[in-house]
Amino acid sequence: MTQNVIWKTSPNRTVGRGGVAVDRIVIHYIVGNLAACDATFLNPDSQVSAHYGIGEGRIHQYVSVHNTAWHSGNFGFNQRSIGIEHSATPERPPTTQTLNMSIARCLTLCRQFNLNPLTAIVPHDSVVPTACPGTVDWEYIRDRTAAQM
């Protein structure tokens, strides 16, 4: 499945990976829609970003996978990981469409970086204490990606 990725370059990034290999994909929720994600990641004052945001039938890319996005709250973990944001709130889980688009993106990334989805795909709250990824069923994304590898 080919995805139409729309570029929205974020100023909040570090060029390169500091020589660290990518081995994790971190699942996040926006606590809002994709437009809210755009507003935060395109604002240099926010000092946060992720590689991808998914919602409302679209996938936006903010940072190259070869650069470090500022998404996990831990710089060393950011260097080794790809962050994916999902349109959702505490009251509104992501739609089936958003989940399916995320699975397709995870599949592409796991193939590109030669990753095992069962160990590579992790929730944000496994990195630092946070309410993220909230209502995003990250285990469903992990298991459906693994089933399609």
Report which of 134, 18, 13, 140 is spatially closest to residue 85, judged by C-alpha positions: 134
Residues in contact with Zn ion by CB under 5 A are 28, 124, 132
- Shortest separation between residue 28's beta carbon and Zn ion, angstroms: 3
- Shortest separation between residue 81's beta carbon and Zn ion, angstroms: 11
- Enter the tokens of residue 118: 């069962």
- Shortest separation between residue 103's beta carbon and Zn ion, angstroms: 18
Which CB sits closer to Zn ion, 4 or 91? Answer: 91
Which CB sits closer to Zn ion, 1 or 78? Answer: 78
Which CB sits closer to Zn ion, 41 or 148? Answer: 41
Which CB sits closer to Zn ion, 11 or 73? Answer: 73
- Shortest separation between residue 149's beta carbon and Zn ion, angstroms: 24
Per residue in 27-63, is it b (16+ CB within 10 Å) or e — as a string?
bbbbbbebebbbebbbeeeeebbbbbbbbeebbbbbb
If you write DSSP's letter for every residue of 63-110 in order, what string do you get?
A: S-TTSEE--SS-HHHHHTEEEEEE-B-SSSPPPHHHHHHHHHHHHHHH
